[in-house]
């Protein structure tokens, strides 16, 4: 069986709830490898809610569908406050990337309470801004940024990542709608140890199986490189 868009590989999947410091309940899912402990954990932060982003945005959904089986990773995804998906609706309303910092903190706390290992943030678009602005304060290994717009993040906020010693990886599509590789290298110069990875022919939404595999492989390259190359087929 070829691993493509609608394929969900075996995993232990659990509907979860997160509880924020301001009293909201958020809905999400935790996917774990079958038959063994995860080697690392991804907390996925989805694109802009007002633009249709939610926990089922396709790259995040496919990470949860594939990476527990292909790379022994735990994948935690959830709806930011006020966001609805087939899983349900998270309480609250859109916080313009500010209140969502509490949502991120609740997700990290959940992962810690479950004893999940080596936590990485994986943000996409708006989710990268939440990761950049609030994740540096958390007990995480680092953050992987997919198509970061850098609209809500200042150079001072970026510089905090250099001081933290946490790893920062910016995955930049060649033809991004908001931030292309040359400008990204200039802006991320505030974090000399950050890695800027250009994806040839990539676009902001990462549409298509080729781009999906490139993005998921880049995530795994930082979190569990021994699992590469990711298989493109799975036994029936």
Q: What is the pLDDT of residue 236?
A: 75
Q: What is the pLDDT of residue 35?
A: 84
pLDDT digits (tens, 9 = 90+) for 125-178: 999 999 999 999 999 999 999 999 999 999 999 999 999 999 999 999 999 999
pLDDT digits (tens, 9 = 90+) for 75-85: 999 999 999 99
Q: Cα separation of 123 and 14, whole Å?
A: 21
With a pLDDT cut of 90, the percent of the chain lying above it is 98
Q: How confident is the model at residue 36 (pLDDT cuts 50, 70, 90)?
A: confident
Q: What is the pLDDT of residue 83?
A: 98
pLDDT at 28 over 90: yes
Per the listing, tokens 């492989």 go with 217
Measure the N-to-C terminal CA separation of the chain; round to a whole number of Å: 6
Q: How confident is the model at residue 234 (pLDDT cuts 50, 70, 90)?
A: very high
CA angle (52, 55, 170) in 5-degree steps: 90
3-state secondary structure 150-167: CCCCCHHHHHHHHHHCCE
- Mean pLDDT over 174-185 rounds to 97
> What's the whole-number average pLDDT of the chain?
97
pLDDT at 18 over 80: yes
Which phi and psi (to 5°) does residue 152 adopt? Answer: -105, 10
Q: How confident is the model at residue 86 (pLDDT cuts 50, 70, 90)?
A: very high
At the topology level, CATH places domain 12-225 in Rossmann fold (3.40.50)
User: What sign results for the dihedral spanned by CA atoms 129, 132, 137, 66?
Assistant: positive
- Range in 3-7, 45-49, 102-106 with the lowest mean pLDDT: 3-7
Rg (Cα) of the chain, in Å, rounded? Answer: 16
Q: What is the pLDDT of residue 61?
A: 98
pLDDT at 198 over 80: yes
């Amino acid at each position: 069986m070829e691993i493509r868009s609608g394929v969900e590989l075996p995993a232990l999947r659990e509907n979860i709830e997160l509880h924020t410091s301001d009293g909201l309940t958020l809905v999400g899912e935790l996917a774990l490898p079958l038959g063994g402990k995860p080697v690392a954990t991804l907390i996925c932060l989805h694109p802009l809610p007002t633009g249709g982003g939610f926990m089922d945005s396709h790259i995040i959904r496919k990470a949860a569908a594939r990476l527990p089986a292909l790379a022994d990773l735990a994948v935690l995804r959830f709806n930011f406050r006020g966001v609805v998906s087939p899983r349900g609706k998270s309480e609250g309303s859109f916080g313009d990337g500010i209140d969502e910092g509490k949502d991120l903190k609740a997700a990290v706390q959940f992962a810690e309470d479950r004893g999940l290992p080596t936590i990485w943030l994986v943000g996409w678009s708006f989710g990268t801004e939440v990761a950049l602005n609030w994740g540096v304060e958390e007990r995480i290994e680092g953050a992987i940024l997919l198509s970061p717009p850098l609209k809500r993040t200042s150079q001072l906020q970026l510089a905090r990542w250099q001081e933290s010693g946490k790893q920062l990886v910016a995955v930049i599509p060649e033809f991004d709608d908001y931030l292309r590789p040359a400008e990204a290298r200039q802006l991320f110069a505030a974090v000399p140890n950050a890695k800027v990875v250009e994806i040839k022919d990539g676009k902001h939404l990462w549409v298509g199986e080729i781009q999906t595999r490139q993005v998921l492989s880049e995530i795994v390259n930082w979190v569990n490189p021994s699992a590469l190359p990711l298989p493109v087929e799975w036994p029936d």
